[in-house]
Amino acid sequence: MKRILVVATALLITIAVVITSCSKDGSESGYNRIILVYLAANNNLSNYASDNVSNLLKGYLPKENSNDVLLVYSHLMDHTPVLLRIYRDDNGVPQQDIVANYDNQNSTTPQVLNSVLKKIKIIFPAKEYGLILWSHGTGWLPQNYYDNPEMFGVFMPDPYSDIVKSFGFESGVEMDIKEMAASIPYHFSFIIFDCCLMGGVEVAYEVKNKCDYIIASPAEVLATGFPYDVIMEPLFRSKADLEEVCQRYFDFYDSQNGVYKSATIALYRSDKFDELAAVCKSIFATNREKLNSLQVTGIQRYFRLNKHWFYDIGDFISRIASQQELLQFNDALSKVVIKKLTTPTFLDFTINSYSGLSTYIQSNGSSFLDSYYKGYKWNIATEMVK
């Protein structure tokens, strides 16, 4: 879900002056770091996306002649998509150059995401790339499942169905995580999910080979999203300071009042997930009887509205593992989750146990989800659902 609203052709237009395939010293890769903010906001979040761009202009921006580049792919409601380069000129004034205008297209399809990313690498060859994905989100769930489980043979009336979507939402189209991961055409230093419920082990494991680090929220994300006026500076340091990005996200929401004081955020190291998967596979194999009879009531949840699909992985494993197994699990988890921060509550539920990573728990009453879940790389590696 992206986001929580709290209430109490592709025709490319290149600009020769802006675009170059060589640096000042003639090297093939003329840029150091390219960061793309991909705003799939041709939906009910459009105004919030506009606010985020406005906040970008208030914070740190690379200079015009810098080898660091900030790009924004912006697709707002009632607008055709545009790719912008945002920077500060010699007088410190924020500027927006149009790199590309697009005919109207659905920005929540894997084909469009893939095309935009490929074009950026051609125009801006660089040593490293960072990606921020901004839109609706419902983690690992199948397309349209969160809103319409009855379509899959499960009836669950939901009076809030109009505010919950999967990753991206435009004209009824969503992008499930397997499609999204497959559409990413090259390696990123980091991927940041500015959308709800993406801090799940299923999501992270699916994209781990596409990036070195991942930032995401196990729970939902309030509509205001990341504080873009303060997170770009650590992202453009000589080495991107992803822990500081998490801290600034947390501090922004922790300073709010009431239900606005709601945030979960975590930083994951991609190359350590295989060790975690191996430990979990062993635990699931030796504790199959406990797993099959487990009562999920009382396990830390990251969902609202009776959506029983996102639980804390640490709390979950502690309910079935032996003491020795739990020590092994916690050691492996500590290598994956580098930083984790949470407010004491998130909207209407308390966070008593926080590992920084969510998971699905096999449900005997949801044969469709169990069957779908088997196709995820995380489940193939761990065999929770057999």
Question: What's the pLDDT band for 176 if we cut at 50, 70, 90?
Answer: confident
- At 25 the pLDDT is 34
Whether 353 is in a domain gets the answer no
- At 141 the pLDDT is 87
- At 17 the pLDDT is 32
- Does pLDDT of 185 surpass 80? yes
Among 273, 293, 313, where does a domain finish? Answer: 273
- Does pLDDT of 335 surpass 50? yes
* Nearest Cα to Cα of residue 130 among 218, 38, 60, 48: 38
Whether 36 is in a domain gets the answer yes
The predicted-structure confidence for 221-239, as pLDDT tens digits, reads as follows 999 999 999 999 999 999 9
- Does pLDDT of 152 surpass 80? no
- Does pLDDT of 195 surpass 80? yes
Q: Strand pairing partners for 100?
A: 83
Which domain range does residue 325 map to? 277-335+361-382
- Does pLDDT of 118 surpass 80? yes
Whether 293 is in a domain gets the answer yes
Residues 75 and 55 in one domain: yes
Residues 180 and 324 in one domain: no
- Does pLDDT of 11 surpass 60? no
Residues 245 and 293 in one domain: no
Question: What's the pLDDT band for 191 if we cut at 50, 70, 90?
Answer: very high
Strands 358-359 and 82-88: unpaired
- At 308 the pLDDT is 85
In whole angstroms, what is the distance from residue 103 CA to residue 79 CA? Answer: 10
- At 384 the pLDDT is 96
Whether 9 is in a domain gets the answer no
- Does pLDDT of 116 surpass 90? yes
How many domains are contained in the chain?
2
- At 62 the pLDDT is 98
- At 159 the pLDDT is 31
Residues 208 and 320 in one domain: no
Whether 350 is in a domain gets the answer no
Residues 289 and 247 in one domain: no
Residues 369 and 244 in one domain: no
User: What integer is the mean pLDDT of 72-84?
Assistant: 95
In whole angstroms, what is the distance from residue 139 CA to residue 148 CA? Answer: 15
Question: What's the pLDDT band for 9 if we cut at 50, 70, 90?
Answer: very low
- At 29 the pLDDT is 55
Enter the pTM of the model. 0.89
Residues 177 and 258 in one domain: yes
- At 22 the pLDDT is 37
- Does pLDDT of 137 surpass 50? yes
The predicted-structure confidence for 265-280, as pLDDT tens digits, reads as follows 999 999 999 999 999 9
- CB-based burial of residue 244 (10 Å sphere; 0-12 exposed, 13-18 middle, 19+ buried)? middle
Question: What's the pLDDT band for 148 if we cut at 50, 70, 90?
Answer: low
Whether 19 is in a domain gets the answer no
Interior angle at CA 364, CA 156 and CA 382, nearest 5: 115
Least confident of 60-69, 145-154, 281-290, 362-371: 145-154
- At 143 the pLDDT is 74
In whole angstroms, what is the distance from residue 180 CA to residue 114 CA? Answer: 9
270 in Cβ contact with 208 (< 8 Å): yes
Whether 345 is in a domain gets the answer no
Interior angle at CA 157, CA 156 and CA 160, nearest 5: 120
- At 145 the pLDDT is 78
Residues 263 and 296 in one domain: no
Domain with 103 in it: what CATH number? 3.40.50.11970
Whether 11 is in a domain gets the answer no
- At 4 the pLDDT is 53
Question: What's the pLDDT band for 255 if we cut at 50, 70, 90?
Answer: very high
In whole angstroms, what is the distance from residue 244 CA to residue 269 CA? Answer: 15
Residues 372 and 294 in one domain: yes
Mean pLDDT, all residues of the chain: 87
- At 16 the pLDDT is 32
Among 226, 244, 273, where does a domain finish? Answer: 273
Question: What's the pLDDT band for 142 if we cut at 50, 70, 90?
Answer: confident
The predicted-structure confidence for 16-69, as pLDDT tens digits, reads as follows 333 333 333 334 458 999 999 999 988 888 999 999 999 999 999 999 999 999
In whole angstroms, what is the distance from residue 340 CA to residue 344 CA? Answer: 13
Residues 217 and 327 in one domain: no
Among 234, 250, 273, where does a domain finish? Answer: 273
Three-class DSSP labels, the chain: CCCECCCCCCCCCCCCCCCCCCCCCCCCCCEEEEEEEEEEECCCCHHHHHHHHHHHHHCCCCECCCCEEEEEEEEECCCCCEEEEEEECCCCCEEEEEEEECCCCCCCCHHHHHHHHHHHHHHCCEEEEEEEEECCCCCCCCCCCCCCHHHHCCCCCCCCHHHCCCCCCECCECCCHHHHHHHCCCCEEEEEEECCCCCEHHHHHHHHHHEEEEEECCCCCECCCCCHHHHHHHHCCCCCCHHHHHHHHHHHHHCCCHHHCCCEEEEEEHHHHHHHHHHHHHHHHHCHHHHHHCCCCCCCECCCCCCCCCEEHHHHHHHHCCHHHHHHHHHHHHHHEEEEEECCEECCEECCCCCCCEECCCCCCCHHHHHHHCCCHHHHHHCCCC
- At 150 the pLDDT is 52
Residues 232 and 300 in one domain: no
- At 131 the pLDDT is 98
Residues 223 and 289 in one domain: no
